[in-house]
Structure 1
Amino acid sequence: MEQSERRRPGRPSLSNEELLDKALDLFLEKGFAGTSIDAICASAGMAKRTVYARYGDKENLFKAALSRAIDEWIVPVESLREQESEDLEASLMRIGEILVQNVLNPAGLRLLRLTNAEAVAMPEIAQENVRRGTEPTLRYLADLFRRRLGGGGGNFARAEDAAQAFLSIVVSGPANNAAWGMRMDMVSIGQHTRYCVRLFLHGLLEDAAAPAKDEAGQLRLLLREAEERLGEARMRMDEAVRLVRD
């Protein structure tokens, strides 16, 4: 019998991305310490020698899987910049919605939970998450506030503080709630995001003040109510599209 006839066909080799995805799922389910290379190889249908040849050890594989998760999670600054318009409040509404939805999607929640679980033992993974994901967003927001609130010279001394406050008020709350298993529907998330953006821009005292009785004040209130309804309608449409796709 010829050599070609004696050779058994091998299993199709998983791509590196598929291997990292399967590894990440196991790390999230069982934790870094509770996940073995054997379990990863069994899940991926891949020989141990292949995994060791690519990554050397479990820690390097974990960090590579986490790096891939960060790549999938990051919102490019260009995508945020595209949301800008002459209306700063409307711009921040759209930017806030993108950031909140991004951190609450399955990839974002997986990264958040895994980072929170392993950051004590490996603080460098949290630092990498901040360096590649959070810091570019903070720099963009600070630049936005300088351009829009700093006058002609772009001189807004508290731009970095404002950027940090925006992320803390608008994004961190829903992210922390989700990490602890608290669920919000898409409409509630949209309402919460819009309220937090207005709270950030105008403050609690202005928000609690009596409605303006002049014509301009009434017009602002009507526009705000219309924005709320449009935002809720957009959220419902997005949720309907997601359900259809699933």
Structure 2
Amino acid sequence: MSGAHDAPPARRGAGRPTREQAEARHEELIDAALDLFLEHGFELATVEMIAARVNMTKRTVYARYPDKASLFRAAVRRATERQIVPKDVLERMDDGDLPGTLEQVARLRIGQVMTVNGLRLQRIINTESYRFPEIFVENYTLSAGPVVEFVAGVLDRAIVAGALAPTDTDQAARAFMTLVVGGQVRAIVAGRPPTAEQLEERVRFTVRLLLDGLRPR
């Protein structure tokens, strides 16, 4: 039986956020920073704008990131991570049809740049790499590099099967990215995206051109 002098039950205050809540807020911050940096560029996007977008104080932002540059790098890394093609997705494209496999890879990579954030990421890398050269390196390492490695492996197997002449497959895979993918990406970034029919024709043509140069003589 409770007495008159028993202490009342403790009230639960707001307290500190849980780890999950803190991480969710951090995700919101990074996403907002990414949106604003991609929309306005590094110079015009401000920490004030980003903080306001997620209803945070500047002090809260600066507690995680000491300056705008470090927040920018984290946001671009997040955009780059979203462009990573899982290994199993690439492996499913390797169905034994060499031209078909390369065409599928090309369509996938070009299609990524044709999305709103893919295009913004490509443009911000193009415009800000002089200031942040590490974002170009990181984009290649995390996103393009695994695709180059996969294509080189596909070419290695074609050489073993006798379909291609022995060659430096790493260089050939880089040529694939430049010739087949890069040409279309440059047009897209410049505001001249190909139609679906043009894209299909160009991908097939450049894949055939590359493979014709690699076949045994």
TM-score, scaled relative to structure 2: 0.80
CA distance in 2, matches of 1:186, 1:151: 33
SS in 2 for 1:96: helix
Residues 1:124 and 2:134 are matched in the alignment: yes
Specify which structure has the bigger relative contact order, considering alpha-carbon pairs within 8 angstroms and separated by 6 or more residues. Answer: 2
- In the alignment, the residues of structure 2 paired with residue 147 and residue 183 of structure 1 have an alpha-carbon distance, to the nearest angstrom, of 33
Gapped regions of structure 2 (runs ≥ 5): 1-10, 15-20
1:73 aligned counterpart, secondary structure: coil
Deviation at 1:193, TM superposition (A): 1.6
CA distance in 1, matches of 2:140, 2:101: 24
Query: Residues 27-176 of structure 1 correspond to what in structure 2 (within 5 A)?
Result: 27-151=37-161, 156-176=166-186
Q: Which residue in 2 is equivalent to 1:210?
A: none
Deviates more, 1:184-193 or 1:45-54: 184-193
User: Amino acid of the residue matched to residue 208 of structure 2?
Assistant: R
Counterparts of 2:62 and 2:191, CA distance in 1: 35
Mapped contact 1:75–1:102 kept (Cα < 8 A): no
Task: Please list the CA deviations of residues 30-59 of structure 1 after superposition, one character each: whole Å capped at 9, or x if unmatched.
Answer: 221222111111122212122111222211
* Matched-pair contact (CA < 8 Å) for 1:72–1:107: no
Count of aligned positions: 197
Cα distance in 2 for partners of 1:44, 1:184 equals: 36
Q: For residues 148 and 40 of structure 1, what CA distance do their matches in structure 2 show? A: 49
Contact 1:96-1:193 within 8 A present in 2 as well: yes
> In the alignment, is the contact (CA less than 8 A) between 1:113 and 1:179 conserved in 2?
yes
Unaligned runs of 5+ in 1: 204-246
What root-mean-square deviation, in Å, do the aligned CA atoms of Structure 1 and Structure 2 show? 2.6
Distance between the aligned counterparts of 1:74 and 1:186, measured in 2?
A: 23
Describe the superposition over 1:136-191 as per-residue Cα deviations: whole angstroms up to 9, x where unpaired.
21111111111112348x99332112101111111101111111111222332222
Q: Identity of counterpart residues, as a percentage?
A: 36
Letter in 1 for 2:136: A
Secondary structure of the equivalent of 2:28?
helix
Partner Cα distance (2:113, 2:159) in 1 = 27
Q: Secondary structure at the match of 2:107?
A: helix
Q: Distance in 2 between matches of 1:100 and 1:31?
A: 23
- The residue aligned with 2:191 is 181
Q: Show structure 1 runs of 4+ deviating over 4 A.
A: none
